[in-house]
Amino acid sequence: MEVLGNGLRRLLLNSRNSSALKNCHAATFTRLMSSGQQLEYIIKDVKGEKKNVGLIQLNRRKALNALCDGLMSEVGQVLKEFEADKNIGCIVLTGMDKAFAAGADIKEMEGQNFSDVWYNSFLSQWNSVEQCKKPIIAAVNGYALGGGCELAMMCDIIYAGEKAQFGQPEITLGTIPGAGGTQRLTKAIGKSKAMELILTADRMSAVDAERAGLVSKVFPVDQLVDEAIKTAEKISSYSKITTAMCKEAVNASYEMSLKEGLHFEKRIFHASFATDDRKEGMTAFSEKRKPNFTDS
């Protein structure tokens, strides 16, 4: 949902005539997403020594990466491409130094009513991030407010630059977080801290976010993306089928009781014994060599 604090909100609202803040609903643009064809709102790349890390950079700079439908549609399409690429084992999602994403696009939302958002399932295409089977690392520099904070929380790991700021200021716009802010933030940092951030529209620094458990690690701004790629390379070196199992089991813990979660974990653990990679991993350990995983 909309993330803009008072200063950022004024900046964008005062720029209504700027080409950067044109309504960018996906239906108004014709985009061809396949290899070699242009993306309008994001930059995609493949990183790592073995070219096994997918990189998505939000690139709507003049609008501080405000998350319009067109941008999120492109993110979803590129995630599908990376999921289909058998060489890629992990994905890094980042923005720019000033803003990871300063929020959802106000102009895109302000003219809509209840029936519009209900029948069009507004924000539903954001689900492509949480539904991706491959791990996603959010590398957050600058503002991650409202929808930007929610987008980061959809990812599996959050790394932050030392100047990053997190928050859910939707209350200043007369609405509430609508893309997971009330749920994921509460599960990440607890009811009291989440309630304070959501009810006051205050921001949380990178250091405080790490202490609270929202962020895994904090890095200097100029090292953030490189460090995220290093971690992604390490994850990509393991069996992709086992990585997907780990991700599914950890995510299930948010939706199950401890008893149910332990049962689910045991079932996934047992299922791993049907894979070639489980056999290879244990054999390699016994033979004191590196495993040669085949993702099968």
Q: Is 48 inside a domain boundary?
A: yes
Are 225 and 255 contained in the same domain?
no
pLDDT value at residue 2 = 42
Q: What is the predicted pLDDT for the residue at 123?
A: 64
Q: Is 170 a known active-site residue?
A: yes
Say if residue 118 is in the same domain as residue 96. Answer: yes
Instruction: Identify the weakest region by mean pLDDT among 26-35, 179-188, 207-216, 251-260.
Output: 26-35
Residue 257: exposure state from Cβ atoms within 10 A (0-12, 13-18, ≥19)? exposed
Q: How many domains does the chain have?
A: 2
| Residue 111 or residue 82, greater confidence | 82
Q: What does 21-67 look like in DSSP terms, one character per residue?
A: GS---GGG-----STTS--SSEEEEEETTTT-EEEEEE--GGGTT-B
Catalytic option among 147, 161, 178, 281: 147
Residue 294 lies in a domain: no
Q: Are residues 174 and 129 in the same domain?
A: yes
- Overall average pLDDT of the 190-199 stretch: 98
Return the pLDDT at 146.
Answer: 94
Both 180 and 251 in a single domain?
no
Catalytic status, residue 147: yes
Q: Does the pLDDT at position 278 exceed 60?
A: yes
Could you tell me if 167 and 258 lie in one domain? Answer: no
Q: Active site residue: 2, 74, 108, 150, which one?
A: 150
Higher pLDDT, 237 or 33: 237
Asked if 129 and 35 sit in the same domain, the reply is: yes
Q: Which of 108, 170, 227, 233 is catalytic?
A: 170
74 counts as catalytic: no
Query: What does pTM read for this prediction?
Result: 0.85
* CA nearest neighbour of 139 among 116, 120, 150, 155: 155
Confidence of residue 14 (pLDDT cuts 50, 70, 90): very low
Taking 60 as the threshold, does the pLDDT of residue 13 lie above it? no
Amino acid, single-letter form, for residue 218: V
Q: Tell me the per-residue pLDDT of 134-165, one tens digit each, with 9 for 90 and over.
A: 999 999 999 999 999 999 999 999 999 999 99
**Residue 111 pLDDT:** 72
Q: In terms of domains, do 141 and 258 share one?
A: no
Q: Check if 26 is active-site.
A: no
Distance CA 279, CA 294 (A): 11
Q: What residue numbers bound the domain in which 246 lies?
A: 240-286
pLDDT score of 21 = 39
Going by DSSP bridges, is the β-strand pair 217-219/157-161 parallel, antiparallel, or unpaired?
Answer: parallel
Q: Among residues of the chain, what percentage have pLDDT more than 70?
A: 83
Active-site residue among 102, 104, 139, 232? Answer: 104
Asked if 164 and 247 sit in the same domain, the reply is no
Domain match, 249 and 114 both: no
Nearest to 88 by CA among 22, 34, 125, 132: 132
pLDDT in tens, 18-65: 444 344 443 333 343 444 458 999 999 999 999 999 999 999 999 999
pLDDT in tens, 95-136: 999 999 998 777 777 676 677 666 666 666 778 899 999 999
